[in-house]
Amino acid sequence: MNYDAGRFSTTFVNEGGKEIWDFLVRPENIIRMETATYLSRPAIEPLSPFLIERFGDRARQDRLKQMMGHMVRQIMESRGCVLQQGNVKISSANSIFSRASRYAVKSGTS
């Protein structure tokens, strides 16, 4: 699966987007996102500590977080999920995200 950067093309090229994409599509991160989705939480929510561990404070930059959300949407949709709700509040104190999108598995998809 390849990322379609769209409006994040410049950020993707200039801010190490390929490295972030490769990180997000690792099997263990897919499992984390799918588990969060199953628990009706934003898919990106459990990735915060791993993003900080891997990318440091750079992962806190607003434009990168927006691009990561864009990436996660493509990942989740490719796995049979649909956007259920955007702008879901994340209350975890250690999260780099304050709000993110929540997905649901399409009916008839396993």
Within a domain: residue 13? Answer: yes
- Looking at per-residue pLDDT, the higher value among 92 and 51 belongs to 51
Predicted confidence band of residue 2 (pLDDT cuts 50, 70, 90): very high
Give the pLDDT confidence of 35-76 residue by residue, as tens digits. Answer: 999 999 999 999 999 999 999 999 999 999 999 999 999 999
**Is residue 1 included in any domain, yes or no?**
no
Tell me the pLDDT of the chain averaged across its residues: 96
Q: Long-range contact list for 51-56, CB < 8 A, 24+ apart?
A: 51/23, 51/96, 52/96, 54/23, 55/19, 55/20, 55/23
For residue 68, the model assigns a pLDDT of 98
User: Given this model, what pLDDT does residue 86 score?
Assistant: 97
Per the structure, the count of domains in the chain is: 1
Domain assignment present for 76: yes
Q: Answer whether residue 27 is part of any domain.
A: yes
- The pLDDT value recorded for residue 107 is 76
Total residues found in the chain within this entry: 110
Using alpha carbons, select from 81, 85, 83, 87 the residue that is nearest to residue 99.
87
- Whether residue 81 is contained in a domain is answered as yes
Q: Answer whether residue 61 is part of any domain.
A: yes
The reply to whether 110 falls in a domain is no
Residue 62 domain-assigned?
yes
Tokens linked to 92: 């975890």
| Contacts of 45 by beta carbon, 8 Å cutoff, 6+ apart | 36, 90, 92, 95, 97, 100
Can you tell me the distance from the alpha carbon of 86 to that of 44, in angstroms, rounded to the nearest whole number?
12
Q: Which domain, by its residues, includes 77?
A: 6-105
Dig out the tokens for 83 from the structure. 């956007």
Please say if the pLDDT value at position 93 is more than 60: yes
